[in-house]
Amino acid sequence: MASKGSIAPTTSIMDMEDLKLAQSRPNARLSQAWGWTNVQGNFPHPFVVFWWALTLAWAGLIFYLSTQTFRPDFSQALLVRALHLLHLRVSPSTFGFLHALLRKLAHLTEYAVFALLLYGAPGEQSQMLWRPRRAVICILVAAAYSLTDEYHQLHVPGRHASLLDCALDTVGASLAMLVPYTQKQISHLRSTRPWLGGDSG
């Protein structure tokens, strides 16, 4: 029968090994909570680096689109050109509505893409397609970035800040999270009902 004195050294060695493992991976818990631990296992490291570089580039593009270059008169000129190419004529009130719609859709789209990039490339396994905690974090990060973007526009001539635009940006990020959620549901249905996959026996 082993004595207590013989167990203590073994436990101490195991604790030391766990401590060394934790020190060698200081961000392991954060990566697991974010959901990137398994994703990094499915994709090569260069791809992960490229994905995050693309995410930062898109954030930079959002910032650039808030500069003086892309004032309302710029989008108005684009809309005029598009209507001319389509050989369409609209009343001033209709043009104003279409212009406002165009700019608001731009807000929804750019932050939907931003949120999807933040969410990351889905893993090959179905359980990695939907992570609610990561989705909430993506929405919050997109909303926070939208606030900083609107603050930036306060100091840009010809631009103005709008909390409504922040709300639209957050809605766009939230709608984007339906993509991984839907992928998860489809993957689950295919795993439980193989005949939905379209493969004939």
Q: What is the pLDDT of residues 87-135, one digit of tens each?
A: 999 999 999 999 999 999 999 999 999 999 999 875 544 446 788 999 9
Q: Are 172 and 115 spatial neighbours (Cβ–Cβ below 8 Å)? A: yes
Determine the average pLDDT of the residues in 1-13.
46
Cα distance between residue 174 and residue 201, in whole Å:
39
What is the average pLDDT score of the chain?
A: 79
Q: Does 124 or 65 have the greater pLDDT score?
A: 65
Percentage above 90 pLDDT, the chain: 50
Determine the average pLDDT of the residues in 55-84.
92
pLDDT at 47: 81
pLDDT at 193: 74
Determine the average pLDDT of the residues in 58-64.
95
| pLDDT tens string 139-166 | 999 999 999 999 999 888 888 888 999 9
Q: 139-144: long-range contacts at Cβ-Cβ below 8 A with a sequence spacing of 24 or more? A: 139/115, 139/170, 139/173, 139/174, 139/177, 142/111, 142/114, 142/115, 142/118, 142/169, 142/170, 142/172, 142/173, 143/169, 143/170, 143/173
Q: Are 115 and 177 spatial neighbours (Cβ–Cβ below 8 Å)? A: yes
Q: Is the pLDDT of residue 12 over 50?
A: no
Confidence of residue 43 (pLDDT cuts 50, 70, 90): low
pLDDT at 164: 92
